[in-house]
Amino acid sequence: MADDFSTDYDADYDDGDDDSPALPGGEKNYITAAGHGQLEDELHTLHRVERPKVIQVVSWAAANGDRSENGDYIYGKKRLREIDRRIRFLTRRLKIAHIVIPAEQKNHEQIFFGATVTYEKIQDDGDHNQTTVAIVGVDEADLERGKVSWVSPVAKALLKAYEGDVVNIRTPGGLVPVEIIAIRYE
């Protein structure tokens, strides 16, 4: 019996796009060293841990007979395709990654990729609403942890600004003026 469940993750087969954010056309895939490490760790886990486990389950389920009504087999094959798609995606992204180490940035006075920026909304009522974000790669953005992609509207507004500058961030509600309070590179 052929091992039809051992899909080659390097094959040209792809049953859909990955849900991860796309890179702007023609742009480099900038990423911090920490973000690159996280993607490598995920790739390693998928390739060396998750995929072998799923193959083992699918192999066991296939040996149980009728595959058309075998939930373990059907779910396992689906999960294997998802893992293979993610492995292909991560492999491509890591291959084109340009690692930037923020602490090695030469101009610490201006906002560039890798900067951690504290800004404050300019409000007429005297309230001080400060926000701190780190400008990171597309694949490592996580708004809940204060990490915004360098191609996001927030980052685009902040890039190349200096401490004390006022910039306008484009939001669904219109332009919001903010003042740059602090810039640091970690």
Q: What is the pLDDT of residues 40-94, one digit of tens each?
A: 999 999 999 999 999 999 999 888 877 878 888 999 999 999 999 999 999 999 9
At residue 93, the pLDDT reads 93
User: For residue 24, is it within any domain?
Assistant: no
126 and 153 together in one domain: yes
129 and 80 together in one domain: no
Give Cβ neighbours of residue 101 (< 8 Å, ≥ 6 apart). 32, 33, 114
136 and 92 together in one domain: no
DSSP characters over 30-67 = EEEHHHHHHHHHHHHHIIIIIHHHHHHHHHHHHHTS-S
Cα 173 → chain centroid: 26
76 and 131 together in one domain: no
Q: Could you list the residue range(s) of the whole structural domain that residue 70 is in?
A: 29-100
| Three-state secondary structure call for residue 142 | strand
At residue 122, the pLDDT reads 83
Q: Tell me the CATH number at 168.
A: 3.10.50.30
Give Cβ neighbours of residue 75 (< 8 Å, ≥ 6 apart). none
The sign of the CA dihedral 126, 112, 172, 141 is negative
Q: Which of 76, 100, 124 is the last residue of a domain?
A: 100
Q: Which of 72, 100, 128 is the last residue of a domain?
A: 100
At residue 112, the pLDDT reads 96
80 and 95 together in one domain: yes
81 and 143 together in one domain: no
